[in-house]
Structure 1
Amino acid sequence: MTRDLSRLLNPETIAVIGGGAWCASIIKAAGTIGFTGKIVPVHPSGKEIAGQPALRRLEDWQGSIDAAFIGINRSATIKTVDTLRRLGAGGAVCFASGFTEAMAEDSGGADLQEQLVRAAGDMPVLGPNCYGIINALDRVAIWPDQHGMQAVDRGVAILTQSSNIAINLTMQQRALPIAYMITCGNMAQTSQADIAMALLDDHRVTAIGLHIEGFADLRQWEALAGKAWDRGIPLVALKSGQSEQAQQAALSHTASLAGSDAGAQAFLDRLGIARVHGLPEFLETLKLLHCVGPLASNRISSISCSGGEASLIADLAQARAVAFPPLGAGQKSRLKQALGPMVALANPLDYHTYIWRDGAKMTQAWEAMTGSGIALTLSIVDYPHTDAADWACATNAALEVRRATGAPFAVVS
Structure 2
Amino acid sequence: EFVAGMFRDRQYGPVIMFGLGGIFTEALSDVTFRLAPLSETDVADMLDDIQSRKLLGEFRGERAADVNLLKQALMGLSRVAMEHDDILEIDINPLIITPDGKPVAVDALVVKGDSPEAEIFTPPVDPGIVGSLFYPKSVAFVGASGRLGKWGYTLLTNTIGGGFPGEIYLVNPKGGTIAGRPVYKSVKDIPGTVDVGIVTIPADAVLDLIPEFKKKGISNMLLIASGFAETGAEGALKEKQLVEKARAAGIYIIGPNTMGICNPHINFYCTGSHVRPKRGATSVVAQSGNMGNQLLAFAELQGIGIRGFCGSGNEGMITIEDYLDAFEVDPFTDTVMLYIESVKNGRRFFESARRVGKKKPIVMLKGGQTEAGNKAASSHTGALSTDSRVFNAVCRQAGIVKVEKSTELLDLSAAFSSIPLPKGKRVAIMTLGGGWGVVTSDLCEAYGLDVPDLNDEIIGIVDKILPPYWSRANPIDLVGENDLSIPMTVMEALMKWDGCDAVINLGIMGRRHMVSRLADSVRISDPTCPVDFLEKLNQALDDFEKKYVAHIIDLMETYRKPVLGVSMLKDAKDRTVYTVEGKKYMGLFFPTPEQAVISLSKMCEYCRWLENRD
Q: Where on the TM-score scale, by shorter chain, does this alignment land: which range?
A: 0.7 to 0.9
1:44 to 166, 173, 176: 173
**Which residue in 2 is equivalent to 1:399?**
550
How far apart, CA to CA, are the structure 2 residues paired with 1:151 and 1:68? Answer: 25
**Which residue in 2 is equivalent to 1:69?**
198
Mapped contact 2:335–2:417 kept (Cα < 8 A):
yes
**Which residue in 1 is equivalent to 2:563?**
409
Mapped contact 1:163–1:185 kept (Cα < 8 A):
yes
Q: State the 1:50 CA deviation.
A: 2.9
Mapped contact 1:362–1:394 kept (Cα < 8 A):
no
1:158 to 274, 284, 306: 284
How far apart, CA to CA, are the structure 2 residues paired with 1:197 and 1:242? Answer: 24
**Which residue in 2 is equivalent to 1:329?**
456
1:84 to 209, 213, 222: 213
1:48-127 paired onto structure 2 within 5 Å = 48-103=177-232, 107-121=233-247, 122-127=250-255
Amino acid of the residue matched to residue 281 of structure 1? E
Deviates more, 1:370-379 or 1:268-277: 370-379
1:292 pairs with 2:419:
yes
Q: State the 1:119 CA deviation.
A: 2.0
Amino acid of the residue matched to residue 284 of structure 1? D
1:225-236 paired onto structure 2 within 5 Å = 225-230=353-358, 232-236=359-363
Mapped contact 1:8–1:92 kept (Cα < 8 A):
no
Q: State the 1:325 CA deviation.
A: 2.1
Q: State the 1:47 CA deviation.
A: 2.8
Q: State the 1:318 CA deviation.
A: 2.8
Q: Looking at CA atoms only, which structure, 1 or 2, has the larger radius of gyration?
A: 2
Amino acid of the residue matched to residue 324 of structure 1? V
**Which residue in 1 is equivalent to 2:493?**
368
1:11-410 paired onto structure 2 within 5 Å = 11-20=136-145, 21-103=150-232, 107-121=233-247, 122-143=250-271, 145-152=272-279, 154-172=280-298, 173-230=301-358, 232-242=359-369, 260-354=387-481, 356=482, 358-370=483-495, 371-381=497-507, 383=510, 385=513, 387=515, 389=538, 391-392=541-542, 393=544, 396-404=547-555, 406=557, 407-410=561-564
**Which residue in 2 is equivalent to 1:251?**
none
In structure 2, the CA distance between the partners of 1:110 and 1:404, relative to structure 1 (3 Å rule), is closer
Q: How well do the aligned residues superpose, as a CA RMSD in angstroms?
A: 2.3
Q: After superposition, what is the alpha-carbon deviation per residue over 1:306-330, rounded to whole angstroms, capped at 9, x for unaligned?
A: 1111111112223322222222232
3-state SS in 2 of match to 1:264: helix
Q: State the 1:164 CA deviation.
A: 1.5
In structure 2, the CA distance between the partners of 1:215 and 1:348, relative to structure 1 (3 Å rule), is farther
Q: After superposition, what is the alpha-carbon deviation per residue over 1:212-253, rounded to whole angstroms, capped at 9, x for unaligned?
A: 1112212332342244245x32110111234679xxxxxxxx
Amino acid of the residue matched to residue 380 of structure 1? L
In structure 2, the CA distance between the partners of 1:45 and 1:111, relative to structure 1 (3 Å rule), is same
How far apart, CA to CA, are the structure 1 residues paired with 2:460 and 2:556? Answer: 18
3-state SS in 2 of match to 1:374: coil
TM-score by length of structure 2 reads 0.60
How far apart, CA to CA, are the structure 1 residues paired with 2:343 and 2:230? Answer: 16
3-state SS in 2 of match to 1:9: coil
How far apart, CA to CA, are the structure 2 residues paired with 1:49 and 1:133? Answer: 22
Q: State the 1:136 CA deviation.
A: 0.4
Q: State the 1:62 CA deviation.
A: 3.9
Q: After superposition, what is the alpha-carbon deviation per residue over 1:9-47, rounded to whole angstroms, capped at 9, x for unaligned?
A: 110110100033211222211122210100111111213
In structure 2, the CA distance between the partners of 1:133 and 1:360, relative to structure 1 (3 Å rule), is same
Mapped contact 1:79–1:119 kept (Cα < 8 A):
no
Q: After superposition, what is the alpha-carbon deviation per residue over 1:328-376, rounded to whole angstroms, capped at 9, x for unaligned?
A: 232222222232422122222222123x2x2322211122222435332
3-state SS in 2 of match to 1:114: helix
3-state SS in 2 of match to 1:156: strand
Q: State the 1:108 CA deviation.
A: 1.0
Q: After superposition, what is the alpha-carbon deviation per residue over 1:173-200, rounded to whole angstroms, capped at 9, x for unaligned?
A: 1121122121011111111221232133
**Which residue in 2 is equivalent to 1:253?**
none
Unaligned runs of 5+ in 1: 246-258
Mapped contact 1:138–1:151 kept (Cα < 8 A):
no
Q: State the 1:63 CA deviation.
A: 2.9
In structure 2, the CA distance between the partners of 1:374 and 1:138, relative to structure 1 (3 Å rule), is farther
3-state SS in 2 of match to 1:378: strand
Identity across matched positions, percent: 23
Amino acid of the residue matched to residue 310 of structure 1? G
Q: State the 1:150 CA deviation.
A: 4.2
**Which residue in 1 is equivalent to 2:42?**
none
Mapped contact 1:301–1:377 kept (Cα < 8 A):
yes
TM-score by length of structure 1 reads 0.88
In structure 2, the CA distance between the partners of 1:36 and 1:151, relative to structure 1 (3 Å rule), is farther
How far apart, CA to CA, are the structure 1 residues paired with 2:270 and 2:211? Answer: 20
